[in-house]
Amino acid sequence: MYHEMTYRVPYADTDRMGVVYHANYLVYFERGRNEMLREAGLPYSEMERRGVIFPVSEAFCRYHAPARYDDLLTFRTWISEIRGARIKISSNVFCDGKLLVSGHIILASVTSELKITRLPAEIADVCKKFIWNEEETEK
């Protein structure tokens, strides 16, 4: 299953031509990721309380088409891999069903002492709710 949310593009996210800045797509990925983890019952504050933090170790973004001021975007976010100390979260951004950007980020599981650690089992179990194969057609 994937997580889905909508977001209306404010003028602040655009350049002077009213087109969304490329860097904002990574911010959109982060918004989708945060809301997905919150829905799974794991807001970042809870993970930090448990002594685990998740810095981004890799980010990839493939641009397909521009978004513009006042567009209503749909963020689709899912977990595409959980392995050892890493979790790969993929995202697509759509406008009216048209794919605008696709990509992923890889998070490393790190203790508060900044030591890489295997993803705690209870966190991995909760995250499994959003493991999804992109080729699947049903939510």
Catalytic annotation, residues: 15
d(CA 120, CA 74): 30
Alpha carbon distances (Å) from 134 to 43, 59, 71, 116, 126: 24, 18, 24, 28, 19
Q: Report which of 34, 90, 94 is spatially closest to residue 61, judged by C-alpha positions.
A: 90
